Structure 1
């Protein structure tokens, strides 16, 4: 290669210093061994070629001489390319570049080309000498390398499952958009599949993968120059919108949200697919990468916690709520350490056997700035699964310790009920932990009850929960279905779940006197549950009239602040002494 370049430079110097018209034989003889040489007139007609030109082009000398040089054009270069080249050589200057030509058989070849204009004594360009080197192998290697790089880049930027852009490509695109643009608006939306975990856990990962691919396919139909789509992890997708009309962003997101409502069928069942979307939109000049991601994430969190299947736009109040929730969780953790988080007990009375009393354990927080708070005053705390599990574990241990205290004081009770959540069943050893703790405290499992809500069975691992509950029930632990009537498919749960009692939600009890519908629902629930051989507890009792009405309906147990407020364990004896429970009952129902 070095020898060819040296020969080329010597030949070029000679051509530049020609004293007069073309000397074809002498020039071609000098260059034949290393270069491809052709001489054309100013109109592009070929006047002379060397043997190397014949070899590479596939044309004979007779076919080339007299023809226009355009016969070799490959179509790889546009008109602008040739205009600039002709403008250069026509003005008497040397042009150098790389040209792709077409052989006689139609194949392409690349040549490194230098075109030297011959200028007469009068200063007029009379002809051109083109000296070329075959660089086809190099260009093929470069193209192969370029293709390999493109394939590698595509693989690096593409999600392996859905074949759309991945998180890396999304981050690069977002930064590039923020760096290169300053006019207009930008909208970052995050989309989360509401039903993904349920489908993935109940129907298998293959079904989950198919769902992800289907969602990606639907999203990709929206992609264009102003809408970028990527899967950024799990079942979460990013939608990046740019444009001059921010109102259009919401319209597009509404269309996407509507498209994501579809039925997804696997081998055994059909799922209704929905998504939650959170987004933020700002002028591009004000946009910052970290702020956009944080705000869109907060909006998505708001969409999911407000019931899912929703679109929420970021508002500063969302950040305030999140900060408030974080502060609240930190204070609750402090409360656990300084023992301001305690357990109170509210009696549950039997209407058929007035002396028969159980208790429900209720978490209470002796707040430093407020009165004693019950969990409904700090629901944000229970959005954190780890903290929820910590609190539930604390309550379970405290209840068993207090059971021992009550027995030592000879206070008779049937059971103490503990509220549990799906967090307690995240592992597969809930029963083992409860049994070990009961054994450590010398507490019989038959004195323990667990209250669960219906939404626990909408969780992906509901089958595991059902199995755990069966095990607990077989060991003598009572299972109560709490807040009955407020969940989904309540009657179905009565058929499929192992339970001993149903607790009617206080909302129905509160309307017992005012609304015939509430009274009819309570009466119907009592009849159904009794027909299954189970008991009914009405909670939230507010007055004596409600007690009497429930007694007439043959409700089994009642509970509420009117009868007795929740109290600490040490106050239970005094509280029971003050209860005027029997005075609330009609004479016929009072014990002899």
Structure 2
């Protein structure tokens, strides 16, 4: 009975069923009306049926009223009221109405019957109105109330009364149809109200949860609705009624007005605005403006505070353009500024680029740690910035290199700036109680003299810096065209070395070393030769720069070592008495951790004795960084049986103590002295002194660059052990060595006889 013929949500069904406990006036009206009719009937006919009916109505009315009040309390408390009991009591009451009407009609008291029928009709209307939420219950109650009336009409003796029996079913159908129609209408209304409430609640939740400002503007752009984050949408707002354009900065109003006009035409618009707070803090907002979906012509503005995002973007841009360690602009910002200078540069120089490279920075990092290196870079960055006037740019381009863009029109301007920088760098730099040495080399180029694009300007400054470092460091060099030629020559050497290695064009040649007493070949010096693309044989001078390159220098040494040992194995297998082969070793080779192991492995692979080779080093190797490592390597080689020769003796800065500290077996007098021997007293004295020094120290002395018999005779007279030079032979390919060994002795004897 409490169900509905329409499928409705559970919440609405509950509300409809709880309608039994609503409409108190209708309930009281029905109870009082039927009680009054029963009382009139009992007064007119004091019989048991009428008196019993009156008593039943009074008792039933009291019980129903108690159930009604109890149910209302349960509903108010959110509980479940006694719906089934209330429904059954309602049906009993409807049956009581029908019973009373039946006995009134059956009494033939037509006044009482008229009153009872009118009362029953009124009760039926009340039943339908009060129970529209439960139309099935209303139908049961109507049938219970009117069906006895129809039966009474058929049983009375009055001829006209059966008409009631016909009219009442029609009345029941009509009123029930109206009741069910009212029910459907109310269910639709309640459903719509529920959907509207849910939509309102959802919108309220969205507005409360949204971090955005939501405004609705009328056609004059005045604020009709305002919801700000953290405030209830129903709260009053001081912005209501204000024109939205007046809230914007003056510089944004024109673009905002255009955006409003575009949004009014139905096109969504994005507009970014910037506002200043009372504390002068800037707040950025991204505004989305759109027309509302109704026909009011109003606009909705959703504004999101993007200040944090804007600051993050600015921070990201700053980080992308600045060095994280020093805070200086980085290469990207430097390039942008350089491009701007080039774009506005006239014909005459107006600015210069200076590249500053910290001297010996790797040594500080390796010896004191990266913390010390970082502290040094930060202090240098600070001093560079302090040395330049406002408007000039100091950037860190990476590692230990900085770049400066300064206003300068002449070399003198650049030199004055460099002097200020050097003056600033002369002050001591302390880190963790230790003094850090701060030196720098600088290279400068002019804008636009040295290039019309960024790469040319930076390349010119780099070339000048290279020249400064090559010239002794801690100095400024300004770019000149001649520097470019030197760099290109350097690059040509590097390229040639790479190509020669790729084409396996590196081949050792051998220059004999002749004993000045016996005129016999006692050994050879291996000299690098290579074939260029045209097949011409070239000397090592064309590859000079490659020997200082850590990678290429190592590859060239390996290729020479492999070639020499392959030739030595062939000679040894053939039984040729070649003596030994001297191999030149550079400082790059000594920086290799596996240098000694490599030589040992190569000798073992070919089953050769270590005594078949010698190692030649120059004095500069002793004086370079890592002298202790060089000494350790030479001691290992000497311990293997490999003799060590000190090449170009007398031209460097080695002291006599080095001959005692390092395992040296041979001294080679440089060719520059031998060329002047016999014509220069100094050259004769130096050569004689070196020979005597070698004899005193038990070292073999070799004279390089012997070209004439007179030079040979003087060296023999001084007591020099060995000679080497064009007088005996130029460097020979390996295939000609066996013949040279047998022929050179005869040639020397014939020359001496002549």
- Whether TM exceeds 0.5 here: the answer is yes
Shift of 1:357: 0.3
CA–CA distance in 2 between the matches of 1:344 and 1:263? 53
Q: Is residue 455 of structure 1 aligned with residue 620 of structure 2?
A: yes
Please tell me whether the aligned partners of residues 389 and 423 of structure 1 are also in contact (alpha carbons under 8 angstroms).
Answer: yes
In 2 relative to 1, CA 466–169 (structure 1 residues): closer, same or farther, beyond 3 Å? farther
Task: Output one character per residue of 1:240-267: Cα deviation in whole Å (capped at 9) or x when no partner.
Answer: 1235556523442355467667898999
SS in 2 for 1:518: helix
Residue of structure 2 in register with 1:516 after alignment? 681
Q: Is residue 551 of structure 1 aligned with residue 716 of structure 2?
A: yes
In 2 relative to 1, CA 487–384 (structure 1 residues): closer, same or farther, beyond 3 Å? same
Q: Is residue 578 of structure 1 aligned with residue 740 of structure 2?
A: no
The count of aligned residue pairs is 482
Q: Is residue 542 of structure 1 aligned with residue 707 of structure 2?
A: yes
CA–CA distance in 1 between the matches of 2:729 and 2:365? 46
CA–CA distance in 1 between the matches of 2:574 and 2:354? 60
Residue of structure 2 in register with 1:282 after alignment? 447
Please tell me whether the aligned partners of residues 181 and 284 of structure 1 are also in contact (alpha carbons under 8 angstroms).
Answer: no
Residue of structure 2 in register with 1:481 after alignment? 646
Task: Output one character per residue of 1:496-541: Cα deviation in whole Å (capped at 9) or x when no partner.
Answer: 4332222222112223333333333334444445444433322112
CA–CA distance in 1 between the matches of 2:555 and 2:572? 26
CA–CA distance in 2 between the matches of 1:178 and 1:522? 59
SS in 2 for 1:221: helix
CA–CA distance in 2 between the matches of 1:147 and 1:368? 60
CA–CA distance in 2 between the matches of 1:518 and 1:99? 86
In 2 relative to 1, CA 420–265 (structure 1 residues): closer, same or farther, beyond 3 Å? farther
Superposition TM-score, scaled by structure 2 size: 0.54
Unmatched tracts of structure 1, length 5 or more: 15-31, 38-80, 82-95, 102-106, 113-137, 587-592
Which structure is higher in helix share? 2
Per mean C-alpha deviation after superposition, the further-off stretch among 181-190 and 386-395 is: 181-190
User: Paired residue for 1:291, among 450, 456, 468?
Assistant: 456
User: Paired residue for 1:233, among 377, 391, 398?
Assistant: 398
Q: Is residue 443 of structure 1 aligned with residue 608 of structure 2?
A: yes
CA–CA distance in 1 between the matches of 2:494 and 2:657? 35
Please tell me whether the aligned partners of residues 344 and 566 of structure 1 are also in contact (alpha carbons under 8 angstroms).
Answer: yes
CA–CA distance in 2 between the matches of 1:399 and 1:251? 55
Please tell me whether the aligned partners of residues 501 and 537 of structure 1 are also in contact (alpha carbons under 8 angstroms).
Answer: yes
Q: Is residue 429 of structure 1 aligned with residue 594 of structure 2?
A: yes
CA–CA distance in 2 between the matches of 1:111 and 1:294? 44
Residue of structure 1 in register with 2:510 after alignment? 345
In 2 relative to 1, CA 302–111 (structure 1 residues): closer, same or farther, beyond 3 Å? closer
CA–CA distance in 2 between the matches of 1:446 and 1:367? 33
Per mean C-alpha deviation after superposition, the further-off stretch among 374-383 and 332-341 is: 332-341
Shift of 1:450: 1.2
Alignment of 1:21-170 (within 5 A): 34-35=237-238, 142=307, 156-170=320-334
Alignment of 1:196-235 (within 5 A): 196-201=361-366, 204-205=369-370, 208-209=373-374, 211-235=376-400
Please tell me whether the aligned partners of residues 187 and 242 of structure 1 are also in contact (alpha carbons under 8 angstroms).
Answer: yes
RMSD: 4.5
Superposition TM-score, scaled by structure 1 size: 0.67
Alignment of 1:519-530 (within 5 A): 519-530=684-695
Q: Is residue 174 of structure 1 aligned with residue 338 of structure 2?
A: yes
In 2 relative to 1, CA 347–288 (structure 1 residues): closer, same or farther, beyond 3 Å? same
Considering Cα pairs closer than 8 Å and 6+ residues apart, tell me whether 1 or 2 has the greater RCO: 1
Unmatched tracts of structure 2, length 5 or more: 1-206, 225-234, 241-250, 252-272, 285-303
Task: Output one character per residue of 1:99-126: Cα deviation in whole Å (capped at 9) or x when no partner.
Answer: 766xxxxx889999xxxxxxxxxxxxxx
Task: Output one character per residue of 1:282-337: Cα deviation in whole Å (capped at 9) or x when no partner.
Answer: 23997422222222223333333455444333344544554455455444544456
Residue of structure 2 in register with 1:497 after alignment? 662
User: Paired residue for 2:733, among 559, 565, 568?
Assistant: 568
CA–CA distance in 2 between the matches of 1:187 and 1:393? 44
Alignment of 1:303-382 (within 5 A): 303-336=468-501, 340-351=505-516, 354-355=519-520, 357-367=522-532, 372-382=537-547
Residue of structure 2 in register with 1:253 after alignment? 418
Please tell me whether the aligned partners of residues 203 and 266 of structure 1 are also in contact (alpha carbons under 8 angstroms).
Answer: no
Please tell me whether the aligned partners of residues 548 and 585 of structure 1 are also in contact (alpha carbons under 8 angstroms).
Answer: no
Structure of larger gyration radius:
2
Alignment of 1:175-194 (within 5 A): 175-178=339-342, 185-194=350-359
